[in-house]
Amino acid sequence: MNNFILKEKIRNIIDSNDSSLGRAFAYGIQFLIILSVITFSIETLPNLTIQSKQILHLIELFCVIVFTIEYLARIYIADKKIKFVFSFFGLIDLFAILPFYLSFGVDLRSLRLLRMFRLFRLLKLVRYNKALRVFTQAMIAAKEQIILFMVITLILIYFSAVGIYYFENEAQPQHFSSVFESLWWSIVTLTTVGYGDVYPITVGGRIFTFFILLIGLGIVAIPTGIISSALTKSVDSKD
Amino acid sequence: MNNFILKEKIRNIIDSNDSSLGRAFAYGIQFLIILSVITFSIETLPNLTIQSKQILHLIELFCVIVFTIEYLARIYIADKKIKFVFSFFGLIDLFAILPFYLSFGVDLRSLRLLRMFRLFRLLKLVRYNKALRVFTQAMIAAKEQIILFMVITLILIYFSAVGIYYFENEAQPQHFSSVFESLWWSIVTLTTVGYGDVYPITVGGRIFTFFILLIGLGIVAIPTGIISSALTKSVDSKD
Amino acid sequence: MNNFILKEKIRNIIDSNDSSLGRAFAYGIQFLIILSVITFSIETLPNLTIQSKQILHLIELFCVIVFTIEYLARIYIADKKIKFVFSFFGLIDLFAILPFYLSFGVDLRSLRLLRMFRLFRLLKLVRYNKALRVFTQAMIAAKEQIILFMVITLILIYFSAVGIYYFENEAQPQHFSSVFESLWWSIVTLTTVGYGDVYPITVGGRIFTFFILLIGLGIVAIPTGIISSALTKSVDSKD
Amino acid sequence: MNNFILKEKIRNIIDSNDSSLGRAFAYGIQFLIILSVITFSIETLPNLTIQSKQILHLIELFCVIVFTIEYLARIYIADKKIKFVFSFFGLIDLFAILPFYLSFGVDLRSLRLLRMFRLFRLLKLVRYNKALRVFTQAMIAAKEQIILFMVITLILIYFSAVGIYYFENEAQPQHFSSVFESLWWSIVTLTTVGYGDVYPITVGGRIFTFFILLIGLGIVAIPTGIISSALTKSVDSKD
C-alpha cells in the first residue's frame, strides 16, 4: 500500500501538469535539456581552456544524473515496464543518457559520434504536446500520398542528375564526374537552395535545368501542401 | 461641456474614417510616416553634404512634432488614458517619437541604435486594418501548432548543425569550426537561401545534407501552410 | 443591313471559338504572337548579319500589319467603340502595335525601351481563358488580405535592411554602404534567392539574419497561400 | 483450357498483390529496378577497372532478361494485347528494355543517350499505387488552372528576361549578352534557386529585380498550391 502511494506521488510530479510541483518539474527538465544542449555546443568551440572544459563536464555530469533518475522513476511508475522501455519516448529517454555511460568503455574517436545521440534529449521537449498528436494523425491519414510523392521526388532528383550528367560531364568533368556527383547538383537545385558551387554552363544543360525547374519545383513542394491540409483537416474534425 | 465637444471634434479627426477631415488626417499621417522613413534611409547614405543633412534634420523635426501632437491628442481623447498608453498601438506611438527626445541626453554612438526604434512608425501604417484583426484571430486559433512547428524547426536546425559539424569540421575547419558556425550553414540551407559562402564538400556531409533537405524542407514550410489555411478558415467563418 | 451582316461575319471569325474559321484565326494570331516574341529575342543577339536583321524586320512588319488589322477589326465590330479602346484588352492590343509606329518619329536610343512594350502581345495569349476570370474573382475576394501582407512584407524587408545595415555597415562598407544597398540584401534573402553576392559576416548580423529568416519566411509566403486557397474556393462555389 | 489455367496462374503472380507469390514477385522486380539503377550510376564513375565493368554488364544483362520475360508475360496475359502494348505502363516496360537491344546495332556515341531511357524502369516502381490515381484525377480536375499558370509563369519569366536585358546588358555584356542568356538569370531567380553566377549589379536592374521578385514569387508558387488543394479535395470526395 505504501508502495502504491509513493508511485502515485511520483506520478503526480513526473507525469502530471495539473499540480504546481509537476509543472515545476517539467520546466526544470526542459531547462536542463536546453542547458545540456548549450553545453554540448560550447564543447565544440576550438581553443577552450582546461578550466572551462571541466566546468562543462560538471554541468553535463549533473544533467545526466538528473536524466538518469528521471528515466528510472519513469520505469518505476510505469504499469507495463517493458512496454515503456521500448516505447518511442522510453527509447528517447534511454538514448539521451546512454552516450555518457558508453563513453567510459570506448576510446575517444568513436565517442565523438556517440555524443550526437545526446541530441535526442531535444525530442523530450515535445513530449507533452497535444498538437503533436494531431500532427501524427494527419501524417498517418496522408501517409500513402506522402510516400508516393517522396518516391516521385527521389525519381525526379535521380532523373535530373542523369540528365545533367550527360549535358555537363564533358564541359565540367570536375563537377559532374559521375551520376553521384550530379546528384549533389540535383538536390541543391530542386530544393532551390542553389549554393552556386555547381551549376550548368552548357546551353543544353541550361535548357534542361529550365524544364526540370518548371516541372520539378511543383512536384517537390507538393508533400508540404499535403501535410498542411491534412493538418488543417484533422484539426477541423477534432472541433 | 465645452471640453466634451472639443474631445468629440478631435476624435472625429483622429479616429474616424467617415468624415473627409478624418480621412485627410489619416492620409497626412501616412504620408509623414513614409516621408520620415525615406529621410531615415537617406541619412545612412555616405558622403552627405552638411546642407542636405540639415534639410533631413528639419524634415525629421517636423515629423516628430506632428507625431508628438498626434500622440498627446490620442491620450487626451482616450477614456482610459493609462490603458491606451500601455496598449499595443499606444506603445508604438510612443516608441516612434521617443528616440528623438532621448537623443538629446545621450552620446552619439548609442544614439545610432536608438534611431532604429523610429521604424516602429511603419507599424502605424497598419493601424486601421480590419484584415489584420482576421489575421490575429487566425494566429491565435493555430497558436499551438505554430509553436510546435517552430520548436521542431529549431530542433531540426540545431540537429543539422551538429550533424554537418561532425562531417565537415575536419575538411573545412575555417567554415565549420564549431556548432555555432555550423548553425549559420544550417539556417541558410534549410530556409533554401543558400548564399554559397558555406557548403559541404565531403561525401558524408553531402549525403547528410541530401537527407536533411528531403525531410527538413517539408517541416520548415509547414507553419506557413498552417497560417494560410487558418487565415482562410477565419475569413470563411466571418461570412 | 449589309453592314450588319459584315459585322456579324467578322465577329464570327475574331470573337468566336465555335466556328472552325474562328479557331483557325485564334491559332493564327497565337502563332504570330509567339513568332514576334521569338523575333524580338533573336534581335537582341550580338553579331547579327545585316541580312538576318532584314529578315527579322520583315517578319516584324508582317506581324504588326496583321495585329493592326485585327485591332481595327475589333474596334469596328465593338458596339461601344470608346469602351473597347479603353478596356484592358483594348489597351493591350494598342500597346502591342504602338511601339512600331512610334519608332518612325523617335531616335534610336529611346526606341530601345519602347520595343519592350511589344511584350504586351504576350498578354493577348490569355485573352479567351475562363480560368483567368476565376483567378481574377479570387484575387478580388482576397484583395484586402493580399494588400495587408504586401504592406507587411514591405515593412519586413525594410526593417531587415535597416537591421543588417547597423550590423554589417562597419564590417563590409562596400556591400552595406547605406540602407538602400541593404535593401538589395534584404529582398534577395527574404525571397530565399540568395545569390551570394552579399551576406552577413559579423556574428551580430548572422544572428539577426537567423531570426529574420525564421519569422520572415512565413510572412513572405503567406500571400501565395491566400491566393491558392481563394482560387480553390472560387472554383468550388462555381460548381 | 490448359492455356487458360496457365494464364490465370501467371496473372496471379504478376498482377496480384493478394498471393504471397505475387508479393514476392513484385518485391523482386522492385529490387531489380533499384539494382539496375545503381548499376547504371556506377557505370558513369570514371576510372573503372575492366573487371568491375564486366560485373556491371552481367548484372545489367540479368536485369534485362528478367524484365524481358516480365514484359512478354504481361503481353501474354493481357486480354487486349495491342491495347496493353500502347498503354502507359506497356510503353514504359518496353522503353525499359529497348535501349539494351538497340545498343547491339548502334555505335557507341549515340548509345550513351539511349542508355538514359533505361531510367524509365524507375517509373515501374509506382505501378501499383492507388494514390497515383487520386493524384491523376486531381491534376485533371485542376488542368485548366495549371495550364493558365504555366503560361503566365512562362510569360513572366520571359518578361523578366527582357527587362533585365535592358538594364544589365551594357554593364555586364558577358552575362546578359542577349535575351536568351537573360532567360537563364530569369529562371534561376524566379524559382529562387539563385546560384549566384549571374545577378544584377546596376541600380535599375536591382530595383527591377525587387519588383519582379515581390510579384513574381507569388505567381510562380500558385500551381503548387492548386495541385495540393485539388489533391486534398479529391481525397475528400473519395471518402
Amino acid C234: pLDDT: 66
D105-to-B182, D110, D111, D118 alpha-carbon distances in Å: 53, 11, 10, 17
Q: Indicate whether B134 belongs to any domain.
A: no
Cell numbers 528478367 label which residue? Answer: D66
Amino acid C239: pLDDT: 46
Considering the domain architecture, whether residues D88 and D158 belong to the same structural domain is answered as: no
How far B1 CA lies from chain C's nearest CA (Å)? 40
Q: Indicate whether B64 belongs to any domain.
A: yes
Considering the domain architecture, whether residues D6 and D124 belong to the same structural domain is answered as: yes
Considering the domain architecture, whether residues D114 and D219 belong to the same structural domain is answered as: no
With CB atoms and an 8 Å threshold, state whether D195 touches B196.
yes
Testing the interface with B: which of A155, A235, A237, A239 to mutate, by most B Cβ within 10 A?
A: A235
Considering the domain architecture, whether residues A143 and A123 belong to the same structural domain is answered as: no
For the entire predicted model, the pTM comes to 0.87
Q: Indicate whether C49 belongs to any domain.
A: yes
Last residue of a domain, one of B104, B128, B152: B128
Q: Indicate whether D133 belongs to any domain.
A: no
Inform me whether the C-beta atom of residue B78 falls under 8 Å from chain A C-beta atoms.
no
Inform me whether the C-beta atom of residue D222 falls under 8 Å from chain A C-beta atoms.
no
With CB atoms and an 8 Å threshold, state whether A195 touches B195.
yes
Chain segment D14-23, per-residue pLDDT in tens = 777 677 888 8
User: Is residue C238 pLDDT above 90, yes or no?
Assistant: no
With CB atoms and an 8 Å threshold, state whether B162 touches A40.
yes
With CB atoms and an 8 Å threshold, state whether B41 touches C177.
no
Chain segment B162-221, per-residue pLDDT in tens = 999 989 999 999 999 999 999 999 999 999 899 999 999 999 999 999 999 988 877 777
Q: What is the mean pLDDT of residues D113-129?
A: 67
How far D1 CA lies from chain A's nearest CA (Å)? 40
With CB atoms and an 8 Å threshold, state whether D192 touches B192.
yes
With CB atoms and an 8 Å threshold, state whether A196 touches C196.
yes
Residues of chain D in contact with residue B192, where contact means CB-CB under 8 angstroms, are 192
How far B238 CA lies from chain A's nearest CA (Å)? 16
More confident residue, A7 or D72: D72
Chain segment A214-238, per-residue pLDDT in tens = 888 777 777 777 777 777 676 655 5
Of B130, B193, B228, the CB nearest to C194: B193
More confident residue, C70 or A130: C70
Q: Indicate whether C185 belongs to any domain.
A: yes
Inform me whether the C-beta atom of residue A221 falls under 8 Å from chain D C-beta atoms.
yes
Q: What is the mean pLDDT of residues D4-10?
A: 83
Last residue of a domain, one of A67, A97, A127: A127
Inform me whether the C-beta atom of residue D100 falls under 8 Å from chain C C-beta atoms.
no
Instruction: Nearest chain C residue to A189 by CA: give it.
Output: C193
Quickly list H helices, B49-178.
50-77, 81-85, 88-102, 108-114, 120-123, 130-141, 143-168
* Number of folded domains that form chain D: 2
Amino acid D176: pLDDT: 92
D106-to-A190, B128, D44, D101, D110 alpha-carbon distances in Å: 34, 73, 19, 10, 7
The low-confidence residues of chain A, meaning pLDDT below 50, are 239
User: Is residue D143 pLDDT above 70, yes or no?
Assistant: yes
Taking a C-beta distance cutoff of 8 angstroms, is the pair B223, B150 a contact?
yes
Considering the domain architecture, whether residues B108 and B13 belong to the same structural domain is answered as: yes
Q: Indicate whether A134 belongs to any domain.
A: no
Instruction: Nearest chain C residue to A225 by CA: give it.
Output: C225
Considering the domain architecture, whether residues C42 and C113 belong to the same structural domain is answered as: yes
We report the CATH number of the domain holding residue A103 as: 1.20.120.350
With CB atoms and an 8 Å threshold, state whether B126 touches C147.
no
Considering the domain architecture, whether residues D143 and D113 belong to the same structural domain is answered as: no
Inform me whether the C-beta atom of residue B222 falls under 8 Å from chain C C-beta atoms.
no
Q: Which chains touch A (3 or more CB pairs under 8 A)?
A: B, C, D
Share of chain D above pLDDT 90, in %: 23
Residues of chain A in contact with residue B151, where contact means CB-CB under 8 angstroms, are 125-126
Considering the domain architecture, whether residues C11 and C95 belong to the same structural domain is answered as: yes
Amino acid D229: pLDDT: 72
CA distance B24 to B18: 10
Q: Indicate whether A133 belongs to any domain.
A: no
Q: What is the mean pLDDT of residues C119-128?
A: 68
Last residue of a domain, one of D94, D128, D162: D128
Considering the domain architecture, whether residues A154 and A66 belong to the same structural domain is answered as: no
Residues of chain B in contact with residue D196, where contact means CB-CB under 8 angstroms, are 195-196
Highest averaged pLDDT of the listed ranges A136-150, B61-75, D82-96, D132-146: B61-75
Considering the domain architecture, whether residues D9 and D77 belong to the same structural domain is answered as: yes
Q: Which chains touch C (3 or more CB pairs under 8 A)?
A: A, B, D
More confident residue, C224 or A87: A87
We report the CATH number of the domain holding residue C155 as: 1.10.287.70
Cell numbers 575492366 label which residue? Answer: D50
Amino acid C139: pLDDT: 80
C121-to-B183, C89, C97, C129, D211 alpha-carbon distances in Å: 48, 10, 8, 15, 21
Inform me whether the C-beta atom of residue A66 falls under 8 Å from chain B C-beta atoms.
no
Inform me whether the C-beta atom of residue A28 falls under 8 Å from chain C C-beta atoms.
no
For chain A, what is the largest distance between any 2 Cα atoms, rounded to a whole number of angstroms? 81
Considering the domain architecture, whether residues C86 and C143 belong to the same structural domain is answered as: no
Q: Domain of A18?
A: 2-127
Amino acid B239: pLDDT: 46
Amino acid D111: pLDDT: 55
Q: Indicate whether D19 belongs to any domain.
A: yes
> DSSP readout, C173-239?
TTT-SSHHHHHHHHHHHHTT---SSS---SHHHHHHHHHHHHHHHHHHHHHHHHHHHHHHHHHHHH-
CA distance D136 to D133: 5
Of B119, B150, B193, the CB nearest to C162: B119
With CB atoms and an 8 Å threshold, state whether C196 touches A192.
no
The low-confidence residues of chain B, meaning pLDDT below 70, are 1, 16-17, 104-118, 120, 124, 126-130, 232, 234-239
B2-to-B6, B12, B13, B78 alpha-carbon distances in Å: 6, 15, 17, 17
With CB atoms and an 8 Å threshold, state whether A196 touches C195.
yes
Q: What is the mean pLDDT of residues C61-65?
A: 90
Report residue D239's pLDDT band, with 50, 70 and 90 as the boundaries: very low
Considering the domain architecture, whether residues D189 and D230 belong to the same structural domain is answered as: yes
